[in-house]
């Protein structure tokens, strides 16, 4: 007999009842401890967690009870590598000739909702397809106009001429022109300063660089270094002035070494990471955001005739299958891991698949969950308010029915989602 799932048809907020919300959790993974607490009561008032106590506390008249006694409660999940402005499909490469910025913006609201309903209450968006879309999406979500996760966006990714994220790659010469720092393309330390300041002016929260070639760009190389040391040093100097966290897309080892020496915060993908790169990351405290899900997706789609342009297919076949084994090597050496999936390369809302791939590669389930909670918050420098279920933290809380430490695939079926004290999903 099939189970019937009911979803709330309205959003529950503490103010809607003028009461605090009292959650009875069968189990609690708080994002900090390495062990599970059983039979825990978590009280939420407004958008904050106000108490976490052992045992099922009897609700008072001022409490609205949420019974999750058969569930495991966790901090809201965080994906450190998403692209909410788009989704790669068979026809995605020609979209820019037919879609307007408003089209991208409206569609992004669907992707944002799918992401939140998958349990991801905070994301870092690392590169948009249409200028300003993710800044506006972030603002609209913060104002309550649309439903979605808390967004920290990079706006336009910064690249070099012809590099991964040069928006004119593959176009005919009349359309190609010569984009500069305003468009996120640099070729000197001076350009680097201008590009960082432009991102600040446009409202970005973080910075994204493509320091090597990439898979899905219309250019031949997937791994060559694409920034000089002087350009990277200038970027980091400027980024520090504006207190930006800096993430770098990187497949090739040489580009990673240059970026780590310059002091970037995280390496994304890291496909051809060698022992020297790992040593440098450990020494510098550089985070690794693996994106195994995207690797597996592009490797699969590369075998499908016509899904990607021909210049992309050999890169996807070479890079995609390698990321998971690189991840195994990194965790065995003790590299710091933050959860990230490259959502948008594959369909939005499937972000939780990464948990199974991480565990399959040798990571403990608890460590995988921490990578998407307190580790991700620490990378973003927001661990004082997000990433764990503790008193005075923001009330971002999710739950699954059962024990995800026994069956990590339960993470792909989030039953309860609260963000900022608001319940968006409660499957019974």
Q: Where are the domains of the chain?
A: 14-76+388-426, 77-379
Task: In whole angstroms, give the CA distance from residue 237 to residue 257.
Answer: 17
DSSP bridge pairs for 68: 25
Residues in the chain: 428
pLDDT of residue 11: 53
At 121, is the secondary structure helix, strand, or coil? Answer: strand
Class of domain 14-76+388-426: mainly beta
pLDDT of residue 222: 81
CB within 8 Å of 99: residues ≥ 6 apart: 130
| CB-based contact 209:264 (threshold 8 Å) | yes
Q: What is the DSSP letter of 95?
A: G
pLDDT of residue 233: 98
| CB-based contact 245:199 (threshold 8 Å) | no
pLDDT digits (tens, 9 = 90+) for 313-352: 998 898 889 999 999 999 999 999 999 999 999 999 999 9
- For 77-379, the fitting CATH number among 3.60.21.10, 2.40.240.10, 3.90.78.10, 3.20.20.140 is 3.20.20.140
Strand-pair category, 336-337 with 287-289: parallel
Q: How far is CA 228 from CA 262, 305, 312, in A?
A: 10, 36, 25
pLDDT digits (tens, 9 = 90+) for 366-391: 999 999 999 999 999 999 999 999 99
pLDDT of residue 217: 83
Tokens of 201: 């002016």
**Mean pLDDT, each 10-residue run in order, the chain (428 residues):** 43 57 98 96 97 96 95 98 93 86 95 98 94 96 97 97 82 79 95 97 97 87 92 98 97 97 98 97 98 95 90 89 96 98 97 98 98 98 98 98 98 98 92
pLDDT of residue 17: 46
CB within 8 Å of 187: residues ≥ 6 apart: 160, 161, 231
Of 289, 323, 418, 342, whose CA–CA distance to 125 is shortest? 342
At which residue do the structure tokens 């009911």 appear? 6
């Amino acid at each position: 007999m099939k189970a019937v799932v009911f979803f709330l048809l309205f959003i529950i907020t503490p103010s809607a009842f003028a009461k605090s919300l009292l959650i009875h959790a069968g189990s609690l993974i708080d994002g900090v401890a390495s062990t599970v607490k059983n039979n825990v009561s978590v009280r939420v008032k407004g958008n904050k967690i106000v108490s976490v106590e052992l045992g099922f506390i009897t609700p008072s008249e001022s409490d609205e009870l949420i019974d999750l006694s058969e569930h495991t409660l966790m901090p809201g999940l965080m994906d450190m590598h998403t692209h909410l402005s788009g989704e790669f499909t068979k026809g995605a490469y020609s979209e820019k000739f037919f879609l307007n910025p408003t089209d991208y913006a409206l569609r992004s609201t669907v992707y944002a909702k799918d992401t939140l309903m998958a349990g991801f209450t905070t994301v870092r968006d690392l590169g948009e397809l249409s200028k300003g879309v993710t800044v506006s999406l972030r603002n609209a979500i913060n104002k309550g106009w649309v439903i979605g996760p808390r967004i920290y966006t990079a706006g336009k990714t910064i690249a070099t001429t012809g590099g991964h994220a040069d928006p004119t790659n593959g176009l005919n010469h009349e359309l190609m022109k010569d984009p500069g720092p305003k468009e996120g393309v640099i070729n000197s330390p001076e350009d680097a300063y201008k590009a960082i300041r432009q991102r600040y002016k446009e409202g970005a929260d973080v910075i994204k660089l493509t320091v090597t070639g990439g898979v899905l760009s219309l250019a031949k190389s997937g791994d060559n270094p694409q920034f000089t040391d002087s350009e990277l040093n200038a970027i980091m100097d400027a980024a520090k002035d504006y207190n930006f966290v800096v993430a770098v897309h990187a497949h090739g080892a040489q580009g990673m070494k240059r970026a780590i020496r310059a002091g970037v915060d995280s390496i994304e993908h890291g496909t051809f990471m060698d022992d020297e790169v790992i040593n440098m990351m450990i020494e510098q405290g550089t985070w690794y955001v693996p994106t195994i899900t995207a690797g597996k997706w592009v490797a699969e789609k590369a075998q499908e005739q016509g899904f990607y342009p021909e210049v992309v297919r050999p890169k996807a076949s070479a890079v995609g299958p390698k990321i998971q084994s690189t991840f195994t090597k990194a965790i065995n050496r003790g590299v710091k891991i933050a959860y990230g999936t490259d959502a948008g390369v594959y369909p939005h809302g499937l972000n939780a698949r990464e948990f199974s791939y991480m565990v399959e590669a040798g990571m403990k389930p608890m460590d995988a969950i921490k990578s998407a909670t307190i580790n991700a918050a620490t990378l973003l420098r927001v661990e004082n308010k997000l990433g764990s279920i503790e008193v005075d933290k923001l009330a971002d809380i999710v739950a699954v029915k059962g024990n995800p430490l026994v069956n990590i695939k339960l993470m792909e079926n989030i039953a309860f989602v609260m963000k900022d004290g608001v319940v968006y999903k409660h499957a019974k």
